[in-house]
Amino acid sequence: MPLTFHNTLTRRNEPFEPIDPGHVRMYVCGPTVYDRAHIGNARPVLVFDVAYRLLRLLYPKVTYVRNITDVDDKINARAIDSGRSIAAITEETTRHFHEDMAALGALPPDVEPRATAHIPHMIHMIETLIARGNAYEAGGHVLFSVPSDPNYGCLSGRSRDEMIAGARVEVAPYKADPADFVLWKPSTPELPGWESPWGRGRPGWHIECSAMSREYLGETFDIHGGGQDLVFPHHENEIAQSTCAHGKPFVRIWLHNGWLMVEGEKMSKSLGNFITVHDLLKQGVRGETIRLCMLSAHYHQPLDWTAEGVRQAKQALDRFYTALRGAPETPEPGPAPAEVVAALEDDLNTPRAIAALHERATALNKAGTPQDRARLKGELLAGGALLGLLSQDPDSWFKAAAAEGGPSVEEIETRIAQRRAARAARDFALADGIRDALLREGIVLEDSASGTTWKRSGG
RNA sequence: GGCGCGAUGGCAGAGCGGUGAUGCAACGGACUGCAAAUCCGUGUACCCCGGUUCGACUCCGGGUCGUGCCUCCA
C-alpha cells in the first residue's frame, strides 16, 4: 500500500511521491522560544516525529528541518516583563524545549536553524522580492504586495477580498493594500535589530521559514508541517514569499495537525488550564504516557486532553509492558508488523497502528511456544519503535520511582520476602496484610508460579 | 459576517456501501489460598430529516449541536 497524506493544499488524500526518491525533505514550524512548551506545542512535534520515523523506514535518506524562532515580539515583551536579557530567555527556553521533547521520545531534527542566525538570508530574500516587484518599502517597513501574487490564498482557500472583509484589525496606513503583510519592520534602539538596506530593523514573522527552508531543503521540497492554526496567515504567506522569490513551486504536501483542547475547553492562560509538558512530567506522568495519549487520536482530529485519557494511555502501556515482561529475549528486533506500517502509511493513522500493537500484545499473551513468544515480542517492539514507544526495559517501566517518592526497592523486596515467609507458613492474614499495605503505597504485587513480581501503580 | 472541521456503544477512538475495530470501564467464567496479571465470554454504537441504492453508520442535500481560523498562537 502506497504512502498517502492528507494534503491541505488539495484537501484530499494523495499518494506521496518524493521529488527525489533517494532523499525526502521535510520542514516543520518549530517553537517561538519565550516560554515552556505546552502540550499543544508537543502535538506537532510528536506527530511529525512519527512521520519522520516512517519516512526513514521507507526512504534511504530524510532531512527533517525544524526551526527555532528566537526573534519575536513575544520574546521582547517577556524580556521587558522579566527584566532578563533576550539571549538568556531564548537560550534557556530552547534548552527546556529540548529536554521536554526528549522526555517525550521525540528524535531531534536533522537541522534546527535559529532565526537570528539567518538574518542575512532573510534580507537577501526580501531584496529579491523587491526586485521582482512583489514587495515594497514604506515608512521603514518592507511589505509583501499581496495583489502581486495571483495565487495568493491557494492554501487557505480564501480570496483576498474575503480576507479583507473578515479582517478585524485596523489597516496600517503605510500598507498599499489592506492584505499586505510585513517582511521587515524598523526597530527602536531598545529592541533587537540588524542593519539592513532599509535601516536597522527586524524580520516579520513569516520570512524566516521561507529563508531557512530554502537554505536547508532547497526552493522546492516535499513536506511542510505545522499546526492547523498556521494555515492562515503563516503558511499562506510563506507560500507567497517563496514562490514569488523563486518562481517555482514551494512545497508538495502540506500537513496540519488539529487543535488540542483540555477537558473540553480551549487551552488558555485565562482559563487556568494551560498545561506544560514540564508540569506533567513533574506530576509523575511519564513522557511515554504523554506520547501515547497524544498519538491515540488521529493527527487531523481535534484532541481533547483529559485526565481520563492520560489514565487510559497509562493502562495501555502497562498492558504492553506486561506482555513484554513475560516474554523471552529476542535476538533480533525484526521488521515492524505490516499492519502497523500500513496504518501509518494511511495518512499517519496512529490510532489504528496502536490497535495493531494491542493485537500483537494479545497474541503474545496467548502464544504457547517460546519461539512464537520471542517472535511476537520482536514484532511488538518493532511496531512500538516505529511509533517511538516501548523502548524501555519493562522492569524500568514498572519500577521507576514515582515523582512523589514511595517505598524504596529495598523496602519493597524486604516486605515481599516477609510475605513469602507468611505464605509458606499459610498465614494468609499476615500475607494479605502486607500486600494491602503495599497497595496503599502504590505497589501492586503479582504472584506467579515463578515467584512474586511487583510494579508501581502511579504515573 | 467570511472560510473550514467534526458528531460512532458507559468512556476514548478507528473504519467501511452489505462481515469482528481496538483499548479502558462493567458483568460472567477459567486460573489463584485470596488477589493481581492473563485468557475465554457478554452487551439493541453509529446526531436528526430527506434522497440515491437491492442494501448506508459509510455517498448526496438540508437541519441541529459542537468546535477552529479570519488578530499573536501548535
pLDDT at position A10: 85
Confidence check: pLDDT of A165 > 60: no
- Which nucleotide is nearest to A260 if distance is taken from CA to C1'? B74
CB A402 within 8 Å of CB A458: yes
Residues 6+ apart with CB under 8 A from A11: A157
Helix A350-366 / helix A287-295 crossing angle, nearest 10 deg: 120
Residue A359, judged by CB atoms within 10 A of its CB (0-12, 13-18, 19+), counts as middle
Write down the pTM of the prediction. 0.94
A168 CA, B64 C1': Å apart:
29
- Which nucleotide is nearest to A162 if distance is taken from CA to C1'? B2
Taking residue A248's Cβ as centre, other Cβ atoms within 10 Å add up to 10
Compute the radius of gyration of chain A from its Cα atoms.
26
CB A64 within 8 Å of CB A44: no
What is the SS3 string spanning chain A? CCCEEEECCCCEEEECCCCCCCCEEEEECCCECCCCCEHHHHHHHHHHHHHHHHHHHHCCCEEEEECEECCCHHHHHHHHHHCCCHHHHHHHHHHHHHHHHHHCCCCCCCECCEHHHHHHHHHHHHHHHHHCCCEEEECCEEEECHHHCCCCCCCCCCCHHHHHHHCCCCCCCCCCCCCCEEEEEECCCCCCCECCCCCCEEECCCHHHHHHHHHHHCCCEEEEEEEHHHHHHHHHHHHHHHHHHHCCCCEEEEEEECCEEECCEECCCCCCCCCEHHHHHHCCCCHHHHHHHHHCCCCCCCEEECHHHHHHHHHHHHHHHHHHHCCCCCCCCCCCCHHHHHHHHECCCHHHHHHHHHHHHHHHHHCCCHHHHHHHHHHHHHHHHHCCCCCCCHHHHHHCCECCECCCHHHHHHHHHHHHHHHHCCCHHHHHHHHHHHHHCCEEEEEECCEEEEEECCC
pLDDT at position A298: 92
Cα dist. A345→A109, A112, A267, A349 in Å?
21, 26, 31, 7
Residue-wise pLDDT for A85-113, tens only, equals: 999 999 999 999 999 999 999 999 999 99
- Residue A24's Cβ-side half-sphere holds a number of Cα atoms within 13 Å equal to 22
Percent of chain A with pLDDT over 70: 95
Q: Checking DSSP bridges between strand A251-257 and strand A221-227, what pairing results, if any? A: parallel
Cell of A301: 482530529
A235 CA, B17 C1': Å apart:
37
The Cα angle at residue A389 between residues A385 and A394, in degrees rounded to 5: 105
* Cα–Cα distance for residue pair A182/A206, rounded to 1 Å: 8
Looking up cell 487531523, which residue turns up? A300
Looking up cell 520515523, which residue turns up? A53
What is the SS3 string spanning A116-161? HHHHHHHHHHHHHHHHCCCEEEECCEEEECHHHCCCCCCCCCCCHH
Residue-wise pLDDT for A355-374, tens only, equals: 999 999 999 999 888 999 99
CB A65 within 8 Å of CB A217: yes
* Cα–Cα distance for residue pair A293/A396, rounded to 1 Å: 20
The Cα angle at residue A374 between residues A370 and A380, in degrees rounded to 5: 140
Which nucleotides of chain B have an atom under 7 angstroms from any protein CB? 1-6, 11-15, 20-25, 32-40, 67-74
Cα dist. A13→A50, A252, A253 in Å?
18, 13, 10
- Which nucleotide is nearest to A230 if distance is taken from CA to C1'? B74
Q: Average pLDDT of A339-353?
A: 94
CB A180 within 8 Å of CB A144: yes
Percent of chain A with pLDDT over 90: 71
A343 CA, B56 C1': Å apart:
25
A286 CA, B23 C1': Å apart:
19
Neighbouring-strand partners of residue A13: A6
Nearest residue by alpha-carbon distance to C1' of B40: A366
pLDDT range class, residue A407, cuts 50, 70, 90? confident
Residue A271, judged by CB atoms within 10 A of its CB (0-12, 13-18, 19+), counts as exposed
The Cα angle at residue A259 between residues A27 and A17, in degrees rounded to 5: 35
pLDDT at position A178: 83
- Which nucleotide is nearest to A455 if distance is taken from CA to C1'? B36
A135 CA, B37 C1': Å apart:
67
pLDDT range class, residue A446, cuts 50, 70, 90? very high
Confidence check: pLDDT of A202 > 80: yes
* Least confident residue range of A266-280, A297-311, A418-432: A266-280
Q: For residue A116, give the nearest of A33, A214, A180, A238 by alpha carbon.
A: A33
- Which nucleotide is nearest to A40 if distance is taken from CA to C1'? B74
pLDDT at position A265: 80
A47 CA, B15 C1': Å apart:
21
Mean of per-residue pLDDT scores for chain A:
91
pLDDT at position A154: 86
Phi and psi torsions of A415, nearest 5° = -70, -30
